[in-house]
Amino acid sequence: MSQIAIIEAFAELEDPRRRAGQRHALPLCLALFTVGYAAGNQGFLAIGDWM
């Protein structure tokens, strides 16, 4: 699955955040977290360090 396909899959989800809390696109964030977790990182701090 390509990176674009991952983002498109998450694009179908409804974003529950308020408009004011949307600094980054939800599909992109979820795709990055998914790829980071698949790379063996566990937790937001580890994924952030990986990025």
Write the pLDDT tens digit of every residue in 1-46.
Answer: 566 788 888 988 998 888 887 888 899 889 989 989 999 999 989 9
Place of tokens 């977790």: 37
pTM above 0.75?
Answer: no
pLDDT for the residue 16? 87
pLDDT of residue 8: 86
| Angle subtended at Cα 41 by Cα 39 and Cα 43, rounded to the nearest 5 degrees | 145
